[in-house]
Amino acid sequence: MPNRNQILDDIGTTLAAINGAPRYNLIAATVETYLRTYDEVGAAELPWLGYWPGEGSAPPVGYPFGDELYTLEVQIIGHVAATMSTRTEQLALLEEDIRTALYVDRTRGGWAIDTQVSSASVTDEGNPDKQGMARERASLTMTVRCTFFPDDG
């Protein structure tokens, strides 16, 4: 499915555009196509964003004349440098930047019908006793849903 690959590429490019310009609060230092825990991310790589296709996408919806509408779920995780006192603010800024970036072009350059953040973000800000080596970090995850026709474009 060529559109699926184009949509994933566009999401990566979009997240990498979080550059502190007037519409963004932060500068995404690193954007990758896989999961890393906050312990695996170096301080110079923060804010770090990872994204990858989810496993639970809905089955295609059939349309007359043979078209099928597909749904691609993409998982996004982000890590920021934050102390207990700055964690809530830094995670809110990161979430706002991700949503702003994704909604600049909800069609992913014309490859998708629509893009929606389909889940509330989940954070670790309520965990006062983070385990691991890198304690001055905060993380969030969210799911993004893109609908598309597989061979349009």
Domain 2-148: top CATH class: alpha beta
Q: Is the pLDDT of residue 32 over 90?
A: yes
Per-residue pLDDT band for 29 (boundaries 50, 70, 90) equals: very high
Contacts of 51 (CB under 8 A, 6+ apart): 8, 11, 12, 15, 31, 32, 33, 74, 75, 76, 77
75 DSSP β-pair partners: 52, 143
pLDDT tens digits for 65-102? 778 889 999 999 999 999 888 989 999 999 999 999 99
What's the mean pLDDT in 43-70?
86
pLDDT tens digits for 127-149? 666 655 557 889 999 999 999 98
Q: H helices of the chain, where?
A: 2-16, 87-104
Predicted pLDDT at 133: 56
